[in-house]
Amino acid sequence: KQEVTQIPAALSVPEGENLVLNCSFTDSAIYNLQWFRQDPGKGLTSLLLIQSSQREQTSGRLNASLDKSSGRSTLYIAASQPGDSATYLCAVMDAGNMLTFGGGTRLMVKP
Amino acid sequence: EAEVAQSPRYKITEKSQAVAFWCDPISGHATLYWYRQILGQGPELLVQFQDESVVDDSQLPKDRFSAERLKGVDSTLKIQPAELGDSAMYLCASRLTGARETQYFGPGTRLLVL
């Protein structure tokens, strides 16, 4: 059974810092990996999707990398802003189109 | 931009009562998912539909939970009877049929069982 782990569980940084969120998964037979953002009490917003054949994806200040063989992904956030404060969730999709989520990283960016 | 709609947004009920949640996926999305998210954890899949058919409900507690998507469009998730441990956020997601398509999530229904 696929297991997804996210480290750290919580992170507090001052505004302007560059930061890295980590995600690891136990079964490398994935179809793709996604990073989602979730604001308190709200649904999930997809940030980046990396296909299994890709190494990274970029969107604005966000960059996600994927090393399928080692079962790892990182989400890099450049020049963090208070508006980036949210929970970031990593999820892997298997060949049956099922998503398995990690527990999330709760990020607080202080002004 | 089209969105997944869910209602109600919040529901408070007493244990042993019945509750129902509704989801309207993005038009044209044949695949629909229901997830449960306990506070501080990631979402866990309860059931997946392809059109009106259940693809996977292996994690659905079938003694008390039921889900239907009769016409292959909107869907209802029901809990009868509700238990204290059912307090969670219930998320609905939909996607186009196609291996590279992302899932789009609704705002969720937050359930509190007293």
User: Which pLDDT value is given to residue A42?
Assistant: 87
Q: Note the pLDDT of residue A95.
A: 81
Quote the minimal CA–CA distance from B102 to chain A in Å: 8
What average pLDDT does this structure show over A78-105? 94
Spell out, as residue ranges, where chain B has pLDDT lower than 70: 99-100
Beta strand A72-77 with A19-25 is antiparallel
With CB atoms and an 8 Å threshold, state whether B44 touches A101.
Answer: yes
Residue A96: band (very low, low, confident or very high) from pLDDT cuts 50, 70, 90? confident
Residue of B nearest to A51 (CA): B100
pLDDT at B100: 67
CB-based contacts of B69, cutoff 8 Å, min separation 6: B32, B49, B51, B52, B75, B76
Answer for the pair A42, A56: CB distance below 8 angstroms, yes or no. no
pLDDT of residue A60: 96
Best A46, A97, A101, A106 residue to mutate vs chain B (most B CBs within 10 Å): A97
Of A67, A105, A55, A99, the residue nearest A84 (C-alpha): A105
B20: Cβ–Cβ under 8 A, 6 or more apart, which residues? B76, B77, B78, B79
**Closest Cβ–Cβ partner in B41, B48, B89 for A103:** B41
Largest CA distance in chain A: 43
In tens, the pLDDT along A36-88 reads 999 988 899 999 999 999 999 999 999 999 999 999 999 999 999 999 999 99
Res B99: pLDDT: 60
Distance CA B69, CA B49 (A): 8
CB–CB of B15/B76 below 8 Å? no
Residue type, B9: R
Angstroms from A64 CA to nearest CA on chain B: 16
Nearest CA in chain B to A52: B100
Residue A98 has pLDDT above 90, yes or no: no
End-to-end CA gap in chain B: 37
Tell me, what's the pLDDT at A88? 98
